[in-house]
Amino acid sequence: MTITVAILGRPNVGKSTLFNRLVGQKLALVDDTPGVTRDRREGEGNLFGFTFRVIDTAGLEERFDASLEGRMRVQTERALEEADITLLVIDVRAGLTPLDEHFANWLRRSNKPVALVANKCEGRAAEAGLAEAYALGLGEPIPISAEHGLGMSDLFHTIQAAI
Ligand code: GDP
Ligand code: MG
């Protein structure tokens, strides 16, 4: 059985960069269904030979408008329904924002396993943001750099432990 991993989080935290890293060359499909799902991509992710279905809740940033929160809600709920594990991605360089807290509160109330993924952790600029991440109440953040491919082994172990 293939498990489904959903990548969630506010715009610009690096969700698509992580998606691309997990999916590599094997980008399976772009979902062109009109409406909310047009914002989303899915593909076959691979970490150290373990394969899984991965959903990127993408594209919201291009259409940032008054109904953003509503679309995020619908998209997040749909991805959540399908997910076996959810990765909530935050940007440690930017620090926590109310939207991060909004996502965290919501995911804490879901019954799905949630891993808090602290992205952009390469280099020293990350330390303060990483410490701050505990405040989201989702446990220990997993430090990664989606762009540089750091922390993938911890991410792999977290996904394994959750399924
Ligand atoms: P999304 O909106 O959450 O899908 O974020 P994107 O994947 O589009 O990335 C937003 C920006 O963050 C882009 O400029 C990326 O190059 C940058 N980014 C993504 N991952 C990292 C990372 O690990 N480190 C740094 N420094 N920048 C990153
Ligand atoms: Mg994106």
**6-34: per-residue pLDDT in tens?**
999 888 899 988 998 999 864 544 444 44
Q: Which atom of ligand 1 is nearest to the CA of 9?
A: 3
The token pair that represents 112 in the structure block: 């799905």
Cβ of residue 21 lying under 6 Å from some atom of ligand 1:
no
Ligand 1 centroid–CA 78 distance in Å is 23
Question: So what's the ipTM on this one?
Answer: 0.99
- 3-state SS assignment for residue 89: strand
Are residues 101 and 129 in contact, defined by beta-carbon separation less than 8 angstroms? Answer: no
CB atoms within 10 A of CB 37: 17
Asked if 6 and 79 touch (Cβ cutoff 8 Å), the reply is yes
118 lines ligand 1 (CB under 6 A): no
Report the predicted TM-score, pTM, of the whole model to 2 decimal places.
0.89
Q: What are phi and psi of 34, to 5 degrees?
A: -60, 150
> Which residue's CA is the closest to the ligand 1 atom numbered 24?
120
Residues 6+ apart with CB under 8 A from 30: 41
Q: Domain spanning 13-162 has what CATH number?
A: 3.40.50.300
Q: Does the Cβ of 40 fall within 6 Å of ligand 1?
A: no
Matching residue, tokens 């498990």: 3
Determine contact, residues 83/5, Cβ cutoff 8 Å. yes
- The full set of domain ranges for the chain reads 13-162
**Which residues sit opposite 150 in a β-bridge?**
145
Q: What would the pLDDT profile of 60-93 be if each residue is shown by its tens digit?
A: 444 445 566 676 677 778 888 999 999 999 999 9
